Amino acid sequence: MKVIKLFVNCNCKRNNYNSHLKKDQIKSLNFREPKKDISLNNDIDNKECDKISFVSHTSEIFWNDNWQYGEYSKIHNSPVKIYYSNIPEKKNKIICVNAGHGTVGGEKVMTYCHPDKSPKYISGSTTKGQVYAVAVSNGMIFQDGMPEAEVNLSLALILKEELLKAGYDVLMIRESDDCQSDNIARTVFANNNADCHIALHYDCSNMDKGLFYISVPDIEEYKNMEPVKPLWQIHNKLGEDLYFGAKISGVKVYEKKDYPIDLTQTSYSTIPSVVLEVGDRKSDYSSITQKRIALGIITGLDKFFGFEIQN
């Protein structure tokens, strides 16, 4: 993917920001606004640059073999990064933002669907009855030929900025085209370092049906499986609140609201966790639409954590 360098009027020496946003997304951002609104840089180690972002500091987290369920992951070479918000009204919650797909070679590796090695209950990208799932699938292709992984990433980067601005700290699973972490590793990273886990995806339908979430299937064996058992209600509550936040923020939502699948992410999560399908192959993924989705997610998180809803 093309990396576009942005040059802005910053006092520090390193005044070029690499961004994965596409040209039309960059055009829609107003660079004449106060500098703090253009904190697109992924390289925020320079202290002078920090002045124009909403980041106080960052922390890189590397894989730990001793983490629970760590032995089920096959790919976990990429560290994750936590960005801490610098705004005074900090919320002291770390949100794991997981841009779906984007692991080169991930579809050639298989991992257990469930930690108890039971077969899949409901067909998703893995068929019902399978014991193994691909470690990370490639994702779909939009009707205009754009790969889903790329669109998920642009949304994740917008969401990161908006979360920091709203006082949330952010754990970013992936900030480039290739993140060498399978779906289990992404979940285990989140379990051990975040307060909740949101995976961003676009569905493979062609209807522009709107945002919905993947809920926990109403299957007794699955709901009684560890670590789903103590958390399935809270996973669903997180999905419900994000759906609500999106809806009241003007995001196009799917009237059916949720679709149940026993996803790898849910099956290994020990914190509130949800997969959001924010659109599908036909949906608009412009920066304006993605920013609205990001703000909707934040409204939903405010509801979920009991903060005052801003919009």
- Contact at 8 Å (CB) between 244 and 251? no
What CA–CA distance (Å, rounded) separates 79 from 76? 8
What CA–CA distance (Å, rounded) separates 63 from 65? 6
Of 41 and 183, which has the nearer Cβ to Zn ion? 183
Backbone angles phi, psi at 258, to 5 degrees: -145, 165
Of 186 and 201, which has the nearer Cβ to Zn ion? 201
Of 81 and 201, which has the nearer Cβ to Zn ion? 201
Of 93 and 197, which has the nearer Cβ to Zn ion? 197
Q: Would you give the DSSP letter of residue 141? A: B
CB-based contacts of 230, cutoff 8 Å, min separation 6: none
Which residue minimizes CB distance to Zn ion?
201
Among 102, 139, 239, 296, binds Zn ion (CB under 5 A): 139
Q: Would you give the DSSP letter of residue 112? A: E
Of 82 and 136, which has the nearer Cβ to Zn ion? 136
Residue 185 C-beta: closest distance to Zn ion, Å: 17
Q: How big is the site for Zn ion, counted in residues (CB under 5 A)?
A: 3
Of 75 and 263, which has the nearer Cβ to Zn ion? 263
- Nearest CA to 107 out of 77, 137, 132, 133 is that of 137
How many other CB atoms are found less than 10 A from the CB of residue 22?
Answer: 18
| Residue 279 touches Zn ion, criterion: CB under 5 A | no
Interface positions, 93-132, toward Zn ion (CB under 5 A)? 100
- Nearest CA to 18 out of 147, 159, 177 is that of 177
- Nearest CA to 136 out of 177, 103, 99 is that of 103
Residue 148 C-beta: closest distance to Zn ion, Å: 5
Interface positions, 199-218, toward Zn ion (CB under 5 A)? 201
Residue 104 C-beta: closest distance to Zn ion, Å: 16
Residue 212 C-beta: closest distance to Zn ion, Å: 13
Quick one: which segment of 16-24, 112-120, 195-203, 278-286 binds Zn ion (CB under 5 A)?
Answer: 195-203
User: Partners of 18 in the beta sheet?
Assistant: 5
Chain contacts with Zn ion (rule: CB under 5 A): 100, 139, 201
